[in-house]
Structure 1
Amino acid sequence: MQPYEERLSAPRSWWFIAVLIGVSVGLIMLPFGTLPMLGGLIGGAALACVAVSSYGSARVRVVADSLVAGEARIPVSALGTPQVLDAAEAAAWRTYKADPRAFMLLRSYIPTALRVEVTDPEDPTPYVYVSTRNPEALAAALTAVQPA
Protein backbone atom coordinates (compact mmCIF):
# COMPACT_ATOMS: atom_id res chain seq x y z
CA MET A 1 0.00 0.00 0.00
CA GLN A 2 1.29 3.45 -0.92
CA PRO A 3 0.33 6.06 1.68
CA TYR A 4 -0.59 9.49 0.39
CA GLU A 5 -1.09 12.75 2.23
CA GLU A 6 -1.15 16.31 0.93
CA ARG A 7 -2.16 19.67 2.35
CA LEU A 8 -3.66 22.03 -0.21
CA SER A 9 -1.93 25.05 1.30
CA ALA A 10 -2.44 28.51 -0.13
CA PRO A 11 0.33 30.10 -2.22
CA ARG A 12 2.81 32.52 -0.63
CA SER A 13 1.31 35.47 -2.49
CA TRP A 14 -1.93 35.02 -0.53
CA TRP A 15 0.01 35.50 2.73
CA PHE A 16 1.50 38.70 1.35
CA ILE A 17 -2.00 39.90 0.46
CA ALA A 18 -3.14 39.08 4.01
CA VAL A 19 -0.40 41.33 5.39
CA LEU A 20 -1.41 44.08 2.94
CA ILE A 21 -4.99 43.79 4.21
CA GLY A 22 -3.67 44.41 7.72
CA VAL A 23 -1.76 47.47 6.49
CA SER A 24 -4.92 48.73 4.76
CA VAL A 25 -7.03 48.35 7.89
CA GLY A 26 -4.29 50.13 9.86
CA LEU A 27 -4.32 53.02 7.38
CA ILE A 28 -8.12 53.20 7.58
CA MET A 29 -7.86 53.47 11.38
CA LEU A 30 -5.04 56.09 11.27
CA PRO A 31 -7.37 59.14 11.55
CA PHE A 32 -8.57 57.79 14.92
CA GLY A 33 -5.09 57.76 16.45
CA THR A 34 -2.01 55.62 16.92
CA LEU A 35 -3.56 52.92 19.11
CA PRO A 36 -6.55 52.30 16.82
CA MET A 37 -4.13 52.23 13.87
CA LEU A 38 -1.98 49.57 15.56
CA GLY A 39 -5.10 47.63 16.55
CA GLY A 40 -6.37 47.76 12.98
CA LEU A 41 -2.98 46.70 11.60
CA ILE A 42 -2.63 43.74 13.95
CA GLY A 43 -6.30 42.76 13.94
CA GLY A 44 -6.74 43.08 10.18
CA ALA A 45 -3.59 41.10 9.43
CA ALA A 46 -4.51 38.44 11.99
CA LEU A 47 -8.03 37.97 10.61
CA ALA A 48 -6.78 37.83 7.02
CA CYS A 49 -4.09 35.30 7.98
CA VAL A 50 -6.68 33.14 9.77
CA ALA A 51 -8.83 33.16 6.63
CA VAL A 52 -5.90 32.18 4.38
CA SER A 53 -4.80 29.47 6.80
CA SER A 54 -8.32 28.08 7.09
CA TYR A 55 -8.84 27.94 3.32
CA GLY A 56 -5.43 26.36 2.82
CA SER A 57 -5.84 23.72 5.52
CA ALA A 58 -7.74 21.19 3.39
CA ARG A 59 -6.04 17.80 3.29
CA VAL A 60 -6.17 14.96 0.81
CA ARG A 61 -5.24 11.53 2.20
CA VAL A 62 -5.57 7.87 1.43
CA VAL A 63 -6.18 6.21 4.80
CA ALA A 64 -6.66 2.44 5.08
CA ASP A 65 -9.48 1.84 2.59
CA SER A 66 -10.76 5.41 2.20
CA LEU A 67 -10.09 8.60 0.32
CA VAL A 68 -10.24 11.52 2.74
CA ALA A 69 -10.72 14.79 0.88
CA GLY A 70 -11.33 17.74 3.17
CA GLU A 71 -14.24 16.77 5.43
CA ALA A 72 -15.40 13.90 3.19
CA ARG A 73 -14.39 10.28 3.78
CA ILE A 74 -15.17 8.10 0.76
CA PRO A 75 -14.63 4.32 0.83
CA VAL A 76 -12.36 3.20 -2.00
CA SER A 77 -14.75 0.32 -2.70
CA ALA A 78 -17.30 2.91 -3.89
CA LEU A 79 -14.85 4.47 -6.36
CA GLY A 80 -13.92 3.52 -9.90
CA THR A 81 -10.67 3.98 -11.77
CA PRO A 82 -8.91 7.29 -11.06
CA GLN A 83 -8.39 9.67 -13.98
CA VAL A 84 -5.40 12.03 -13.81
CA LEU A 85 -6.29 15.51 -15.11
CA ASP A 86 -3.66 17.87 -16.49
CA ALA A 87 -4.14 21.62 -16.14
CA ALA A 88 -6.31 22.02 -19.27
CA GLU A 89 -8.52 19.01 -18.55
CA ALA A 90 -8.86 19.98 -14.88
CA ALA A 91 -10.01 23.46 -15.92
CA ALA A 92 -12.60 21.88 -18.21
CA TRP A 93 -13.94 19.67 -15.39
CA ARG A 94 -14.11 22.71 -13.08
CA THR A 95 -16.16 24.68 -15.59
CA TYR A 96 -18.24 23.51 -18.54
CA LYS A 97 -17.87 19.74 -17.98
CA ALA A 98 -18.75 19.96 -14.27
CA ASP A 99 -21.76 18.17 -12.86
CA PRO A 100 -23.47 20.04 -9.99
CA ARG A 101 -24.02 16.73 -8.17
CA ALA A 102 -20.28 15.95 -8.05
CA PHE A 103 -18.18 16.21 -4.92
CA MET A 104 -15.42 18.72 -5.59
CA LEU A 105 -12.53 19.62 -3.33
CA LEU A 106 -11.45 22.49 -5.51
CA ARG A 107 -8.57 24.87 -5.04
CA SER A 108 -8.18 27.23 -8.00
CA TYR A 109 -4.50 27.84 -7.30
CA ILE A 110 -3.71 24.15 -7.92
CA PRO A 111 -3.87 23.53 -11.67
CA THR A 112 -3.97 19.69 -11.71
CA ALA A 113 -6.54 17.31 -10.28
CA LEU A 114 -7.80 13.76 -10.00
CA ARG A 115 -11.27 12.68 -11.06
CA VAL A 116 -12.75 9.37 -9.85
CA GLU A 117 -16.13 7.95 -10.83
CA VAL A 118 -18.41 6.94 -7.94
CA THR A 119 -19.56 3.37 -8.65
CA ASP A 120 -21.96 3.01 -5.71
CA PRO A 121 -25.45 2.72 -7.29
CA GLU A 122 -27.10 4.20 -4.16
CA ASP A 123 -24.96 7.35 -4.25
CA PRO A 124 -26.26 10.17 -6.50
CA THR A 125 -22.76 11.67 -6.72
CA PRO A 126 -21.43 10.93 -10.23
CA TYR A 127 -17.75 11.55 -9.50
CA VAL A 128 -15.23 12.98 -7.07
CA TYR A 129 -12.98 15.83 -8.24
CA VAL A 130 -9.95 16.53 -6.04
CA SER A 131 -7.41 19.28 -6.67
CA THR A 132 -3.93 17.88 -6.08
CA ARG A 133 -0.38 18.90 -6.90
CA ASN A 134 0.58 15.27 -7.59
CA PRO A 135 -2.37 13.48 -9.24
CA GLU A 136 -0.24 10.53 -10.40
CA ALA A 137 0.81 9.67 -6.82
CA LEU A 138 -2.77 10.01 -5.55
CA ALA A 139 -4.04 7.77 -8.35
CA ALA A 140 -1.35 5.18 -7.54
CA ALA A 141 -2.24 5.25 -3.84
CA LEU A 142 -5.97 4.79 -4.62
CA THR A 143 -5.24 1.95 -7.06
CA ALA A 144 -3.02 0.24 -4.48
CA VAL A 145 -5.81 0.10 -1.84
CA GLN A 146 -8.71 -0.78 -4.17
CA PRO A 147 -10.17 -4.25 -3.60
CA ALA A 148 -9.35 -6.78 -6.31
Structure 2
Amino acid sequence: MGPAPYDERLWPGPGGWAAVLGFAAVVLVALLPVEPRLAVAVAGATAVVGVVLVAVTAPRVRVAEGVLRAGRAHIPVGLLGVPAVLDRDGVREALGPGSDARAYACFRSWVAGAVEVPVTDPADPTPTWLVSSRRPEDLREALLAEQRRQAAHSEQIG
Protein backbone atom coordinates (compact mmCIF):
# COMPACT_ATOMS: atom_id res chain seq x y z
CA MET A 1 0.00 0.00 0.00
CA GLY A 2 1.54 3.31 -1.09
CA PRO A 3 0.94 6.83 0.13
CA ALA A 4 -2.55 8.28 -0.05
CA PRO A 5 -3.26 10.35 -3.17
CA TYR A 6 -4.34 13.16 -0.85
CA ASP A 7 -3.78 13.64 2.88
CA GLU A 8 -4.06 16.91 4.81
CA ARG A 9 -4.52 18.01 8.41
CA LEU A 10 -6.57 21.19 8.89
CA TRP A 11 -4.26 22.76 11.47
CA PRO A 12 -5.09 26.24 12.72
CA GLY A 13 -3.20 29.16 11.24
CA PRO A 14 -0.83 31.37 13.19
CA GLY A 15 -3.76 33.19 14.81
CA GLY A 16 -5.12 29.94 16.26
CA TRP A 17 -1.79 28.96 17.75
CA ALA A 18 -1.35 32.51 19.09
CA ALA A 19 -4.76 32.25 20.78
CA VAL A 20 -3.70 29.05 22.57
CA LEU A 21 -0.47 30.63 23.79
CA GLY A 22 -2.23 33.93 24.53
CA PHE A 23 -4.71 32.13 26.78
CA ALA A 24 -1.81 30.50 28.64
CA ALA A 25 -0.25 33.95 29.06
CA VAL A 26 -3.52 35.32 30.49
CA VAL A 27 -3.56 32.43 32.98
CA LEU A 28 0.04 33.29 33.93
CA VAL A 29 -0.75 36.98 34.49
CA ALA A 30 -3.93 36.17 36.45
CA LEU A 31 -2.13 33.81 38.83
CA LEU A 32 1.14 35.73 39.27
CA PRO A 33 -0.16 37.79 42.22
CA VAL A 34 -1.28 34.60 43.97
CA GLU A 35 1.90 32.50 43.67
CA PRO A 36 4.53 32.97 40.93
CA ARG A 37 5.68 29.32 40.80
CA LEU A 38 2.09 28.09 40.68
CA ALA A 39 1.34 30.64 37.95
CA VAL A 40 4.21 29.37 35.78
CA ALA A 41 3.23 25.73 36.34
CA VAL A 42 -0.46 26.27 35.59
CA ALA A 43 0.28 28.46 32.56
CA GLY A 44 2.67 25.81 31.22
CA ALA A 45 0.08 23.09 31.75
CA THR A 46 -2.55 25.28 30.07
CA ALA A 47 -0.32 25.73 27.03
CA VAL A 48 0.36 21.98 26.80
CA VAL A 49 -3.32 21.09 27.16
CA GLY A 50 -4.23 23.71 24.55
CA VAL A 51 -1.72 22.36 22.04
CA VAL A 52 -2.90 18.78 22.66
CA LEU A 53 -6.56 19.80 22.22
CA VAL A 54 -5.75 21.54 18.95
CA ALA A 55 -3.83 18.49 17.73
CA VAL A 56 -6.61 16.09 18.67
CA THR A 57 -9.41 18.18 17.15
CA ALA A 58 -7.72 19.21 13.88
CA PRO A 59 -9.61 17.17 11.28
CA ARG A 60 -7.83 15.10 8.68
CA VAL A 61 -8.91 15.14 5.03
CA ARG A 62 -7.83 12.07 3.10
CA VAL A 63 -8.56 10.37 -0.21
CA ALA A 64 -7.33 6.78 -0.31
CA GLU A 65 -8.51 3.32 -1.25
CA GLY A 66 -11.67 4.64 -2.87
CA VAL A 67 -12.84 6.64 0.13
CA LEU A 68 -13.03 10.34 1.00
CA ARG A 69 -12.50 10.90 4.72
CA ALA A 70 -13.16 14.31 6.22
CA GLY A 71 -12.97 14.48 9.97
CA ARG A 72 -14.82 11.47 11.38
CA ALA A 73 -17.02 10.98 8.32
CA HIS A 74 -16.23 8.94 5.24
CA ILE A 75 -17.91 8.14 1.93
CA PRO A 76 -16.91 6.02 -1.05
CA VAL A 77 -15.83 8.24 -3.95
CA GLY A 78 -18.04 6.14 -6.23
CA LEU A 79 -21.04 7.78 -4.56
CA LEU A 80 -19.78 11.29 -5.33
CA GLY A 81 -20.28 13.50 -8.35
CA VAL A 82 -17.89 16.00 -9.88
CA PRO A 83 -16.11 18.07 -7.22
CA ALA A 84 -15.96 21.86 -7.47
CA VAL A 85 -13.20 24.03 -6.03
CA LEU A 86 -14.45 26.96 -3.93
CA ASP A 87 -12.55 30.06 -2.87
CA ARG A 88 -13.43 32.02 0.29
CA ASP A 89 -16.40 33.72 -1.42
CA GLY A 90 -17.63 30.40 -2.79
CA VAL A 91 -17.46 28.84 0.67
CA ARG A 92 -19.37 31.78 2.14
CA GLU A 93 -22.06 31.33 -0.51
CA ALA A 94 -22.20 27.55 0.01
CA LEU A 95 -22.72 28.01 3.76
CA GLY A 96 -24.88 31.13 3.56
CA PRO A 97 -28.60 31.75 3.28
CA GLY A 98 -30.29 29.25 1.04
CA SER A 99 -27.77 26.48 1.73
CA ASP A 100 -29.10 23.01 2.42
CA ALA A 101 -28.89 22.17 6.12
CA ARG A 102 -28.51 18.48 5.25
CA ALA A 103 -25.09 19.08 3.63
CA TYR A 104 -22.10 17.61 5.43
CA ALA A 105 -19.51 20.29 6.23
CA CYS A 106 -16.00 19.63 7.45
CA PHE A 107 -15.36 23.35 7.61
CA ARG A 108 -12.66 25.37 9.31
CA SER A 109 -12.95 29.15 9.09
CA TRP A 110 -9.18 29.65 9.06
CA VAL A 111 -8.86 27.65 5.82
CA ALA A 112 -9.81 29.80 2.82
CA GLY A 113 -10.50 27.12 0.21
CA ALA A 114 -12.80 24.14 0.01
CA VAL A 115 -14.18 21.50 -2.29
CA GLU A 116 -17.90 20.92 -2.70
CA VAL A 117 -18.90 17.48 -3.93
CA PRO A 118 -22.45 16.35 -4.73
CA VAL A 119 -23.55 13.00 -3.31
CA THR A 120 -25.07 10.89 -6.10
CA ASP A 121 -26.43 8.07 -3.93
CA PRO A 122 -30.25 8.46 -4.01
CA ALA A 123 -30.51 6.66 -0.66
CA ASP A 124 -28.24 9.19 1.06
CA PRO A 125 -30.12 12.19 2.49
CA THR A 126 -26.93 14.29 2.39
CA PRO A 127 -26.95 16.27 -0.88
CA THR A 128 -23.35 17.51 -0.80
CA TRP A 129 -20.10 17.46 1.11
CA LEU A 130 -18.25 20.71 1.75
CA VAL A 131 -14.66 20.03 2.81
CA SER A 132 -12.17 22.74 3.76
CA SER A 133 -8.72 22.44 2.23
CA ARG A 134 -5.61 24.56 1.90
CA ARG A 135 -5.02 22.74 -1.40
CA PRO A 136 -8.51 22.43 -2.88
CA GLU A 137 -7.27 21.89 -6.45
CA ASP A 138 -5.17 18.93 -5.28
CA LEU A 139 -8.13 17.51 -3.35
CA ARG A 140 -10.35 17.84 -6.42
CA GLU A 141 -7.76 16.12 -8.61
CA ALA A 142 -7.32 13.29 -6.09
CA LEU A 143 -11.09 12.72 -6.02
CA LEU A 144 -11.32 12.73 -9.81
CA ALA A 145 -8.35 10.36 -10.13
CA GLU A 146 -9.88 7.98 -7.59
CA GLN A 147 -13.23 8.11 -9.43
CA ARG A 148 -11.46 7.34 -12.75
CA ARG A 149 -9.53 4.49 -11.13
CA GLN A 150 -12.73 2.98 -9.76
CA ALA A 151 -14.53 3.36 -13.09
CA ALA A 152 -11.65 1.63 -14.91
CA HIS A 153 -11.62 -1.15 -12.33
CA SER A 154 -15.39 -1.61 -12.70
CA GLU A 155 -15.06 -1.86 -16.48
CA GLN A 156 -12.37 -4.55 -16.11
CA ILE A 157 -14.53 -6.58 -13.78
CA GLY A 158 -17.77 -6.17 -15.77
Query: What's the TM-score, normalizing by structure 2?
Result: 0.85
Q: Does the 8 A contact of 1:23 with 1:44 survive in 2?
A: no
Q: Which residue of 2 aligns with 1:129?
A: 130
Q: CA RMSD in A?
A: 1.6
Q: Which residue of 1 aligns with 2:155?
A: none
Does residue 7 (structure 1) correspond to residue 13 (structure 2)? The answer is: no
Q: Which residue of 2 aligns with 1:77?
A: 78
Structure 1 unaligned segments of length 5 or more: list them. Answer: none
Equivalents in 2 of 1:95, 1:54: separation in Å? 28
Structure 2 unaligned segments of length 5 or more: list them. Answer: 152-158
4+ long deviations beyond 3 Å: none
Q: Which residue of 1 aligns with 2:22?
A: 20
**Secondary structure of the corresponding residue to residue 145 of structure 2:** helix
**Secondary structure of the corresponding residue to residue 111 of structure 2:** coil
Q: Which residue of 2 aligns with 1:94?
A: 95
Query: Match for 2:32 among 21, 30, 34?
Result: 30
Deviations 1:69-108 (A, max 9, x none): 1111110111111111122111111222432111110010
The number of residue pairs the alignment matches comes to 146
Identity of aligned residues (%): 38
Which letter maps to 1:142?
L
More strand by share: 1
Equivalents in 2 of 1:78, 1:53: separation in Å? 30
1:113 Cα shift?
0.6
Equivalents in 2 of 1:92, 1:138: separation in Å? 20
Deviations 1:3-45 (A, max 9, x none): 1111111112222221121111111112221222122211222
